Amino acid sequence: MNITVEKLDDINYIISGSVENSTIEDKVAKLKEEAGNDSANDNQSAEKFEHDAAGLVFNEFVDAGITKANIEVETLLGQPGLKKYERLENGIYFEVQLSTSPEINVDVEFMDIVPKFTKPKADPDAVEAKLLEFATQQAPFVKIPEAKTLENNDVAVINFIGYLDDKPFEGGSADNFNLKIGSKSFIPGFEEQLIGMEYNDERTISVTFPKDYQSEELAGKETKFVVKLLEIQEQKAETPDDAFAKRILNDTTATLDTLKAKLEDQITSEEISQLYMSELKPKLIEGLLTKFNFTLPNNIVEQEMDAKVREKTKNFTQEQHKPYVEDKDKFRELRESVRDEARNGIKIAMIVEALAKKMNVDVDEQEVIAALTYQAMMAGQDAQELVKYYRDNNLMVSAKLGLTEDKLFGQILGFNR
């Protein structure tokens, strides 16, 4: 095994060299021996043994390079970046990029770049409007006193039966069903076709289910629904008073003023959040990027660039992908277009990690779950399903990093003062 180490700067290395065919052949022979004769005879198995042997040789090559470069394993960042792989007549040539953790001076004075701001305070009129909105949302639906034709934003009480090929289909019928017209909670086209109906009207409508509908039986199919309008309902806000506040807050000591104070806090929090996301956070990030100077790990930056290119192209059509597949220079140009964004993203993540450690800012799993639960509630989603999705897709770590960043920035900006 022939290895050369090139130290590019204080944390980045290029490990290059070749591994002889004899080493690879020894690995293949050992793998075949471990697998037994039955698995070693067909062409497909031979290719797999070659592939697995190359993987083992690559790992040994990287380990040998780390040793030769005198790199402490615990300081390595990310995965080794394979810059070049070339099958030679006498072996395999590897060129690998390695990076170690940079030293970040957390004692840098940076408070002069923290943006100044006036903490928002909820307008009394906004509090009253929120109270009325809240009272309306909590009010029960009641039948309107006088019959009228159905309009957009009305709440219709309907009976309906769905038919596929003139036969009722499972899950396609309901009685006394409340449907807000214009809510888009039904299949596209369903709600719009009910507008203009009157009490006890019966109407047959045609609806085509979306092609990606969860039921294969119905996906992309044209169906008919027989709909009968029973009545139209409305919500009338009750007059907010102390009794209303006690019920809403589930607190026997609560008063209307208590509820107003909580709504004021909620509005203020929303205004601060909006100010933070639109103005304070971008300015703070820009300032921190200029204040802290350290070498970035090339392999992590390259991996982030790859991720950003995948994100940019994930919805490309085959026709849109074609120029980048056929023209390597065009693909390189696309990749280079995200380099600065990738570098800044990695740099701010490292700054946040270092400052959070210094300032004792931490986020535990319960805080992540609470944030996801709130996110689900605001979006009308199932909180448990959202948490499960994050866990199943290994997104809990990224969610924690995002919360840590916001918690740290909130402390720097003085939100807790």
Query: Is the domain of 65 the same as that of 158?
Result: no
Q: Which of 6-20, 282-296, 368-382, 398-412 is least confident?
A: 368-382
Confidence of residue 248 (pLDDT cuts 50, 70, 90): confident
Q: Based on the domain organization, do 291 and 403 belong to the same domain?
A: yes
What's the CATH number where 175 sits?
Answer: 3.10.50.40
218 and 291 belong to one structural domain: no
| Average confidence (pLDDT) over 35-45 | 62
Q: Per the domain annotation, does 242 fall within a domain?
A: no
For residues 253 and 348, state if they share a domain.
Answer: yes
The residue written with tokens 């800012």 in the block is: 361
Task: Give the model's pLDDT for residue 1.
Answer: 83
Q: How confident is the model at residue 42 (pLDDT cuts 50, 70, 90)?
A: low
* Least confidently predicted of 64-68, 70-74, 244-248, 332-336: 244-248
* Final residue belonging to a domain, choices 189, 211, 235: 235
Task: Give residue 345's pLDDT band: very low, low, confident or very high (50, 70, 90).
Answer: very high
For residues 288 and 113, the answer to whether their CB atoms sit within 8 Å is yes
The backbone region for 198, taken as left when phi is positive above 0, alpha when psi lies in -120 to 50, beta otherwise, is beta
Report the alpha-carbon distance of residue 209 to residue 188 in Å, rounded. Answer: 8
Instruction: Look at residue 43 and tell me whether its pLDDT is greater than 60.
Output: no
Verify that 37 and 61 share a domain, yes or no: yes
Residue 304's pLDDT band (cuts 50, 70, 90): very high
Is the domain of 151 the same as that of 15? no
pLDDT at 174: 95
- Would you say residue 241 lies in a domain? no
In a domain, 198, yes or no: yes
pLDDT value for 241: 94
d(CA 417, CA 414): 5
Picking from 185, 212, 235, the residue at the C-terminal end of a domain is: 235
Binned at pLDDT 50, 70 and 90, residue 41 comes out as low
Domains identified in the chain, total number: 3
Evaluate whether residue 130 is within a structural domain.
Answer: no
Residues 384 and 296 in one domain: yes
156 by Cβ neighbours in 10 Å (0-12 / 13-18 / 19+) ranks as buried
The confidence band for 66, taking pLDDT boundaries of 50, 70 and 90, is very high
Residue 195 clears pLDDT 60, i.e. is over it: yes
Q: How far apart are CA 308 and CA 335, in angstroms?
A: 8
Q: Which CATH number do you get for residue 288?
A: 1.10.3120.10
Per-residue pLDDT at 307: 93
User: What span, in angstroms and rounded, lies between the C-alpha atoms of 172 and 189?
Assistant: 15
Whether 118 maps to a domain, the answer reads no
Do 188 and 156 lie in one domain? The reply is: yes
Same domain, 310 and 217: no
The answer on 258 and 229 residing in a single domain is: no
Range of the domain at 230: 140-235
Q: What is the pLDDT of residue 111?
A: 95
Taking residue 208's Cβ as centre, other Cβ atoms within 10 Å add up to 14
Which of the four pLDDT bands, split at 50, 70 and 90, describes residue 39? low
Residue 174 backbone dihedrals phi, psi, to 5 degrees:
-160, 155
Where a domain ends, among 99, 125, 149?
A: 99
* 301 and 168 together in one domain: no
pTM of the predicted model, to two decimals? 0.74
- What DSSP string describes 47-65? HHHHHHHHHHHHHHHHHHH
Selection from 169, 167, 166 nearest residue 187 by Cα: 169
Mean pLDDT of the chain: 92
CATH number at residue 22: 3.30.70.1050
